[in-house]
Copies of this chain bind each other. A is one copy, B any other.
Amino acid sequence: DNTATKKYKIAVIPGDGIGKEVTPWAQKALEKAAEGVAEFEYEHFDLGAERYLRDGAILPEDEEERIKANDAILLGAVGDPRIKAGILERGLLLKLRFDLDQFVNLRPSKLYKGVTSPLANPGDIDFVVVREGTEGLYCGAGGAVRRDTPNEVATEVSINTAYGVERVVRYAYQLAMKRRKHITLVHKKNVLVNAGDMWQRIVDKVGEEYPEVTHDYQHIDAATIFLVSDPSRFDVILTDNLFGDILTDEAGAVVGGVGYSASGCINATDKYPSMFEPIHGSAPDIAGQNKANPTAAILSAAMLLEHLGFDDAAKKIHTAVEADIEELGSTVRSTDQVGQDILNRI
């Protein structure tokens, strides 16, 4: 009897390269983990480099509308060296993050037992980066005059609003309450004095509502040092769009490679669907070879489940992934083998 089973519509954008290979495993993990509590109906979207090279379309309006009508999005990876940098990123990935107002980019970093960190003494690494997702230097403001002449001037404008910062700061405090209750704001307020000052004031102000949560501050340059020298000091790292991009890749390296890092682009108001993706790229060098590790994609399915409120189902995936890595993490396996091994444990 399936009457208690909730039904969800999931938009699937496998994208390019290894995205196509790992996304099916995310779907399988989703289904198996949610058996009995949720059912998923998938709508596939053919978006990314191949589509663009074929017919020039990046994110047609009607397809974006159809994506919006889903309850959540599973994304693989987008990008292809044949396409000029920025076209797919700005036209597809960032366009979705911005249009769907996914203002929290949530990126957990955890050093799993069985994974070798490049650090000699990594300690116990388990933090989450709460990266703002709809503002800052990513908003596409800027331009160039006298392009390709000796007098060219190119600008990039970081736009930051109290509205946009406060909502992500609030999210970080709520998250910290469920964790070890510590927030580290990362910015560069000694140079970017306007934006940095605003971030700090809002963190201080919202912090008054969460007296149990402690918070401190680090400049982005210092934070990159601590990620290497003492990463276990972090619980929740709260930062802007660009600094979050940088820190989460460094964090991915520190926990043994971006192959184990998933991310959620979250619209915490649920007005539009949230999007879940591995933080790795399309990896054209190993694409089509059944070599890519699907673990990050599978972990993004767990984040999707958590987002929909199925904490127990998400937990099943986490437990399976942890056991798989601990036992077989150092074994060379194909994409399908890792996927099947994890699935068997769910």
Q: Does A137 interact with chain B (Cβ within 8 Å)?
A: yes
User: Could you tell me the distance in whole angstroms from the C-beta of A88 to the nearest C-beta in chain B?
Assistant: 8
Q: Does A332 interact with chain B (Cβ within 8 Å)?
A: no
Measured between beta carbons, the chain B residues less than 8 angstroms from A155 are 157-160, 194-195
Q: Does A197 interact with chain B (Cβ within 8 Å)?
A: yes
Measured between beta carbons, the chain B residues less than 8 angstroms from A94 are 191
Evaluate whether A224 and B249 lie within 8 angstroms (CB atoms) in the complex, with A85-B190, A155-B158 already known. Answer: yes
Point out the residue from B143, B166, B221, B247 that lies within 8 Å of A194, measured CB to CB.
B143
Q: Does A193 interact with chain B (Cβ within 8 Å)?
A: yes
Bound-state CA distance A228–B255 (Å) is 11
Interface residue ranges of A53-93 to B (CB < 8 Å): 79, 85-86, 89-90
Cβ-closest chain B residue relative to A258:
B225
Bound-state CA distance A242–B143 (Å) is 19
A10-18, A26-34, A36-44, A114-122: which one contacts chain B?
A114-122
> Is A224 a contact of B195 with CB atoms below 8 Å?
no
Measured between beta carbons, the chain B residues less than 8 angstroms from A137 are 156, 158, 191-192
Q: Does A149 interact with chain B (Cβ within 8 Å)?
A: yes
Measured between beta carbons, the chain B residues less than 8 angstroms from A227 are 250
Evaluate whether A151 and B138 lie within 8 angstroms (CB atoms) in the complex, with A121-B118, A254-B228 already known. Answer: no
> Is A89 a contact of B190 with CB atoms below 8 Å?
yes
The 7 tightest CB contacts between A and B, nearest first, are A221-B249, A224-B250, A152-B162, A86-B193, A154-B194, A225-B253, A85-B190
Residues of A within 8 A of B (CB): 79, 85-86, 89-90, 94, 116-121, 137-138, 142-144, 146-163, 166, 188-198, 201, 220-222, 224-225, 227-229, 242, 245-250, 252-254, 257-258
- Further 20 A-B residue pairs, CB within 8 A, beyond A118-B119, A118-B229, A191-B242: A79-B190, A85-B196, A86-B196, A90-B191, A116-B120, A119-B119, A119-B120, A137-B156, A142-B158, A142-B192, A150-B163, A150-B166, A151-B163, A153-B161, A154-B197, A156-B157, A156-B192, A221-B249, A225-B258, A228-B250
- 13 residue pairs bridging A and B, Cβ less than 8 Å apart: A86-B190, A90-B190, A116-B120, A118-B121, A151-B162, A152-B161, A154-B194, A155-B194, A156-B158, A191-B245, A224-B253, A225-B250, A228-B254
